[in-house]
Structures are given as C-alpha cells and as structure tokens.
Amino acid sequence: MTQVTKKYGRGPSAVVALDDVSTGIPAGGFTAVMGPSGSGKSTFLHCAAGLDRPTSGTVQLGGQDLGGQDLGELDEKQLTRFRRTRIGFVFQAFNLLPSLTVEQNVTLPLRLAGTQPDRDALHGVMAAVGLTGLLGRRPSQLSGGQQQRVAIARALVTRPEVIFADEPTGALDPDTADEILALLRQAVTDLHQTVVMVTHDPVAAQHTDQVLFLAGGRVVSRVDSPSAAEVKSVMTELRRTR
Ligand code: ADP
C-alpha cells in the first residue's frame, strides 16, 4: 500500500483513521497488525483486503493473476469477484452459516465463484485443518475451536493470495487459541499461504514472522521474529505515548 489515507466523515469533524501509510506485507509470511484501540488496525485490514476503499493512495495485492492491479481501479463487481476468489477471511465470530454443513460451509466460496469443488483438494484442506470426519455436521454441533477450523478451511479452499484474520482467537480459550495459531502458522509454512492477522494479544503475535505496529493511523514500528515480551513492551510504550 502506498500513501494510503482513510478519512471517515468530512470537514473539521473528519477522523483520519489511516494517515499516509506506505508499507508492504511480505508474501508467504505471517504478519500481525497490532496497536492501541483506535489506532487504525481494522481500517488497515479493510483497506488492504479491498473491503473498503482508501480516501487517497493505492493498494496493491501482488501475485501474477492480478499483475499488481491497483484495487482502486476495479469497479464494484470486479472487486467483489476479486475478494471472493483471491482473498480469504477469518473472523473472531467464525461467521459460518448455521444451516449449512461443514462441507457446504467450506465449499461455499467455490460455489459462489461458480466452480466445482475438487474432492481431492477438499479432503486435503479438511485433513490439513484436522476436520476429516466432521464434514456432515452443522456449526452448532461443533466446539468454538472446530468452528474456527472450518472458517480457516473455508479461507484456504480457494488458495487465496492472502488470508486476512481479524482477532481470530478472540473468542477462544488459550489452549484452543494456541491450536488455531499453530494451524495458521502451518498454512504459512507448509502451504506458503500469506496470512495477515489483527490481534491485541502478544502471545498470539509470537506465532508470526513480523509485527506491524500502528498508532494514530501510522505504522510506527515493525518487529521481526517477535517474542511476547518484546511485543508487550512496544504496546506498553505506544499506550503510554498516545
Ligand atoms: P482499531 O481497529 O485499531 O481499533 P479502527 O480502524 O477501528 O481502529 O479506527 C480508527 C479510527 O477511525 C478511530 O478513531 C475510529 O473511531 C475511527 N473510525 C473507524 N470506523 C469509523 C466509521 N465507520 N466512522 C467514523 N469513524 C470511524
């Protein structure tokens, strides 16, 4: 993303949620986005994923298919298709469809894109997330951790350019959270999947390759191979200087 500014509202009451942000996210890596409440994390994620358009600046999502196409140049229809096929999302609240089985939830993005699920590929993804044997269940018959595994399988199934995860462990107990983070790590390491995760949890950030810290709508720091202690101390400092 290059010189991205996102303002909400107009005139003197406008809020600058992102302030001239230029940054890159390494392909094939696991990146955490952190920062105090109101620092612009959600806005960053939404702009990076094409869910929201910046007020100014450009967002590019690399990869050969797109040829580095600027998201700002896509019309709404193209943007919807792009999101559906090239981006995966994982949310805190799982966002599964309750009336669909596990299998139907996972294959939904493929069906929306008008492609037939490939049985072998589907079974590969289900095995990778540890859900083999649960294909016929409904979300209400699964634990929170299992539901998040379904959401991750659904995100992986289109082999997207990037998976964006918004507090994916926010609704889970610490042990289950750890399993989900290990799974995201595995997607990066084994499947070379790029993952970008917003989190407020230093322990979660420890699973990533790098942390981008936001404060006041700007990227103010970047830590590689983060430890929880390191992340905690940067967060404490950012809260103090806010
Ligand atoms: P974070 O995810 O780090 O808490 P956000 O990206 O949600 O931060 O918000 C950044 C700033 O933009 C905050 O000041 C917030 O109040 C403001 N903001 C976010 N969304 C809206 C909106 N839809 N309308 C007006 N202001 C918003």
Domain count, the chain: 1
pTM over 0.85: yes
Does the C-beta of 43 come closer than 6 Å to ligand 1?
A: yes
Span 78-96, pLDDT tens digits: 888 888 888 999 999 999 9
Asked if the structure places residue 188 within a domain, the reply is: yes
C-beta of 47 in contact with ligand 1 (< 6 A) = no
pLDDT attached to residue 67: 36
Decide: 2 and 58 in contact? Cβ < 8 Å: yes
Whether 143 maps to a domain, the answer reads yes
Band of pLDDT at residue 60, cut at 50, 70 and 90 = confident
Q: How remote is the CA of residue 111 from the centroid of ligand 1, in Å?
A: 33
**Residue 131 domain-assigned?**
yes
pLDDT, mean of residues 135-159: 95
Q: Which two tokens stand for residue 158?
A: 């289109």
**CATH number of the domain to which 194 belongs:** 3.40.50.300
DSSP-derived secondary structure for 132-155:
TT-TT--GGGS-HHHHHHHHHHHH
Q: What is the CA radius of gyration of the chain?
A: 18
Q: Could you tell me the distance, in angstroms and rounded to a whole number, from the CA of residue 33 to the centre of ligand 1?
A: 15
Query: Residue 64 above 80 pLDDT?
Result: no
Q: Is 12 within a domain? A: no
Q: Which residues pair with 221 in a beta bridge?
A: 213
The tokens describing 1, both together, are 């993303």
Confidence bin at 71 (pLDDT 50/70/90): low
Does the C-beta of 38 come closer than 6 Å to ligand 1? Answer: yes
Cβ neighbours of residue 175 closer than 8 Å, sequence gap 6 or more = none
The whole-chain average pLDDT of the chain stands at 91
- CA–centroid distance, 130 to ligand 1, in Å, is 36
**For ligand 1, atom 12: residue with the closest CA:** 17
The response to whether residue 23 sits with its C-beta less than 6 Å from ligand 1 reads no
Residue 84 included in any domain: yes
Query: Which range among 31-45, 62-76, 101-115, 194-208 shows the weakest confidence by mean pLDDT?
Result: 62-76
More confident residue, 18 or 59: 18
Determine, yes or no, domain membership for 206: yes
CB-CB contact of 205 with 224 (8 Å): no
In a domain, 185, yes or no: yes
Q: What percent of the chain shows pLDDT beyond 70? A: 95
- Going from the C-alpha of 42 to that of each of 109, 113, 129, 184, the distances in angstroms are 23, 26, 26, 19
5 close to ligand 1 (CB < 6 Angstrom): no
The answer to whether residue 36 is domain-embedded is yes
Total count of residues recorded for the chain: 242
pLDDT at 197 exceeding the cut of 80: yes
Range of the domain at 199: 27-53+75-240
